[in-house]
Amino acid sequence: MLYALSPNYYGNYMYFQDGGAQLEGTGLGASALNQFFTDLATNTSGESGLIGIFNTPGVNTCDLTIATNKGYTVIGILPP
């Protein structure tokens, strides 16, 4: 599953073949990341659905459960 997103809304991104997305360096804060996770369809592909959020301002304050409850794995979280 590839989830198509508007580059005007989410900034620069690239797709992983496993149905995830790379949002590294997009400048998204926590509320924008939460909206991105909310907009995702449930991952039913059987793949890991990786979502990379390295170097994103909202990395430590977004609600990861929105994405993980939909079957995605979020990478790029910095330890507190």
User: Contact at 8 Å (CB) between 3 and 40?
Assistant: yes
**Cβ neighbours for 43, distance < 8 A, ≥ 6 positions apart:** 1, 19, 49, 70, 71, 72
The reported pTM is 0.76
Specify if 1 maps to a domain. no
Give the chain's domain count: 1
Specify if 19 maps to a domain. yes
Specify if 52 maps to a domain. yes
**Can you give the residue range of the structural domain that contains 62?**
7-75
pLDDT at 30: 93
Least reliable range by pLDDT among 6-20, 42-56, 65-79: 6-20
pLDDT at 50: 87
pLDDT tens-digit profile of 41-67? 888 877 778 898 988 899 989 999 999
In the chain, the percentage of residues whose pLDDT exceeds 90 is 28
Specify if 2 maps to a domain. no
